[in-house]
Amino acid sequence: MAKTPTGKNNSGRGQRDLKVKVKTARGRKISSTRWLERQLNDPYVKRAQVEGYRGRAAFKILELDDKFRFLVPGARIVDLGCAPGGWLQVAVQRVNALGEKSGKKIGTVLGVDIQEVEPVAGSEVHQLDFMEDDADQKVKDWLGGKADVVMSDMAAASSGHKQTDHLRIMALCETAAYFAFDVLEQGGTFVAKVLAGGAEGDLQKILKQKFDKVAHVKPPASRADSSEKFVVATGFRG
């Protein structure tokens, strides 16, 4: 029977798939009721609880890594926009940052977020606005050398205006990409969240000059009703 990273049973068999309905309560907006209902019925939210991940986002990086295999033992990882820490947890396990896989190289995981992050064993985390003028230099100083993977799940809180959200996320993604060009080891990987909306084509052009392969992927854990997808650029040319 399949075991989870925390050793629990992941078969899900025997559990009845009951849909939870949430009643609208006085003082709660309809949008909040819908959000609550979606959370309670989301299988990835349930899996995250069972498997000990800090959020359902962990499954997106697990699925991307299952496809592209960039989180290998010994790799040096930078995680931009790492709160609450699901990607950090996955990275720590897969790069062997705690040295739990005997005989395998030990990797490192460095995370930053504008919000405070509860420490994740095996990683180093800092609170930082990555859009600040000298943010890239600060991260370079903490990193103290090259990285094998730069990954960004950064996203500002939704404004409710699709085009504004798209432009904001693309600005975060482009800043992450230029940082990656500075710190990536030759052969390295860049992974970033983008929102479909037009401007992602410009970024793709730049990435294609710098990497051997550039793919746009929507992992199964990414909600179907979201325009979110991920760019995965592999084989950094240096």
Ligand X SMILES: C[S@@+](CC[C@H](N)C(=O)[O-])C[C@H]1O[C@@H](n2cnc3c(N)ncnc32)[C@H](O)[C@@H]1O
> In this structure, what token pair is assigned to residue 59?
């499954």
- Cα–Cα distance for residue pair 176/136, rounded to 1 Å: 9
Beta carbon nearer to ligand X, 119 or 187? 119
**Closer residue to ligand X (CB): 138 or 146:** 138
Which residue number, 85 or 107, has a Cβ lying nearer to ligand X? 85
Contact indicator for 201, 164 with CB cutoff of 8 Å:
no
Minimum CB distance to ligand X, residue 45 (Å): 13
Helices (H), 113-199: 135-143, 162-183
**Residue 142 annotated as lining a ligand binding site:** no
Query: Residue 31: beta bridge partners?
Result: none
Provide the binding-site residues for ligand X, judged by CB under 6 A. 54-55, 57-58, 81-87, 112-115, 129-131, 153-156, 172
The helix (H) or strand (E) run that includes residue 24 is none
State how far the Cα of 85 lies from the Cα of 71, in Å rounded to an integer.
16
Query: Which amino acid belongs to residue 103?
Result: G
Within 8 A by CB and 6+ apart from 215, the residues are 68, 231, 232, 233, 234
65 labelled binding-site residue: no
By beta-carbon proximity to ligand X, the closer residue of 100 and 129 is 129
Is 193 catalytic? The answer is yes
Rounded to a whole number of angstroms, the minimum distance from the CB of residue 144 to ligand X is 20
* Residue 113 annotated as binding site: yes
The catalytically annotated residue of 29, 105, 162, 193 is: 193
- Annotated ligand binding at 27? The verdict is no
Known binding site: residues? 85, 87, 113, 129, 153
Feature table: binding site for S-adenosyl-L-methionine = 85, 87, 113, 129, 153
The set of catalytic residues is: 193
